[in-house]
Homo-oligomer: A and B are copies of this chain.
Amino acid sequence: MTSDNDISGDVAPPQVRTLADIGRIAGVSAGTVSRALAGSPLVKAKTREQIQALAREHDFRPNQMASKLRTRRTGVIGVVIPLGHERRQHISDPFFMTLLGYLADELTERGYDLMLSRAIPDDTPDWLERITSSGMVDGVIVIGQSDQYDKIERVAANYPNLVAWGTYRPGQIHCVVGTDNRAGGRMAAERLIAGGARKLVFLGDTTGIEIAERLDGARDAIAGRDATLVHLPCHLSNETMEGELREQLRANAGSFDAIVAASDLIAMSAMKVLHEQGMTIPDDVQIIGFDDLPLAAQTMPPLTTIRQDIARGAHEIVADLEASIAGRSKQHVVMEPILMERQTTL
């Protein structure tokens, strides 16, 4: 299973490692080399080109650490995913990954590097400060507030270059980009009721405030209508979710005719479990997801869901962050959720 090709690691490193080395060869000072490589007009065009050619020839690139230290600008944005509740929630959660992908695109396009951290707040209370005040990043993006809302607030009070993905609460300090989760939850429940459902179930763990607001929204929709809503907690991590769901749905079989899922992933698992239990979707049970991940369109039947515009979210986050770094003001962005009608509703 494992090849036995050992690979030796002995290679002579090239001799020219610093600006001074190049300078020595070219017969100029390190400072001049620095300017030449930066394309400064202060150095004569001819020597500039000579130096650049020399650097290319020796495959030389200035040490970024030294450069960053000197300029006090790193060109790096920290992206951190706090796994507050849901210790088991893997960083490879599809929603995070999708957002991360878009962020990577946005950031690289603007010349930033992206430093990814996974934080377990319960183990390391200073998970956020560790990133903001390490001198390693120009700004920080927090993906998901989880149960760390207060922590983020506190840090943001002293550290301006921070933008979070999540839910907006009036008066909050930290800049946030996200969807109106409450409106999304309401929209989902209303759609199910419009489809004839009366006994709704909400599937999801509400420790993270985003999810809690979706549940609140669903409750808003129920209020004053001839319908009921039961909340069945269920973890978000892939491994444990399906078993839990099977349990929950079996125990409550027959007592519900529609599901509001806190995420597309939960919706997909629920669909699978219901199918196993012999239910038809949407005839026996209607279901609506949340997120509109690319794979929501691929399920059978295709999943009706509440769409978050992740691509735009990533764009707004980076735009806000860049503004903040440049010293300009930034603003919260609360996006309206959109109902994607597919075939799991009547």
Contact = CB atoms under 8 A, between A and B. Distances in A.
B108 A66 contact: no
A104 B160 CA distance: 26
Nearest to A335: B1
Contacts of A159: 11
A250 interface: no
Contacts of A158: 11, 13-14
A75 B332 CA distance: 34
A331 B6 contact: yes
A268 B66 CA distance: 48
A270 to B, nearest CB: 11
Contacts of A5: 331-332
A63 interface: yes
Contact of A136 (B6, B65, B328): B65
Interface in A60-75: 60-61, 63-66, 68-69, 74
Nearest to A69: B65
Interface string A273-302: 001000000000000000000110011100
Contacts of A3: 168, 331-334
B7 A330 contact: yes
Nearest to A171: B5
A35 interface: no
Given A160-B9, A331-B5, A65 B61 contact: no
Interface in A132-172: 133-136, 157-160, 168
Contacts of A113: 115-117, 136
Contacts of A59: 129, 133
A14 to B, nearest CB: 7
A324 B91 CA distance: 26
Contacts of A41: none
Contact of A9 (B64, B91, B268, B330): B330
A7 B268 contact: no
Contacts of A14: 158
Nearest to A6: B329
Interface stretch (A21-29, A92-100, A190-198, A208-216): A92-100
Contacts of A98: 92, 97
A224 interface: no
Nearest to A268: B298
A322 B39 CA distance: 37
A14 B175 CA distance: 21
A159 to B, nearest CB: 8
Contacts of A295: 94, 268, 295
A101 interface: yes
A43 interface: no
6 contacts: A6-B329, A64-B136, A65-B69, A115-B115, A268-B298, A300-B300
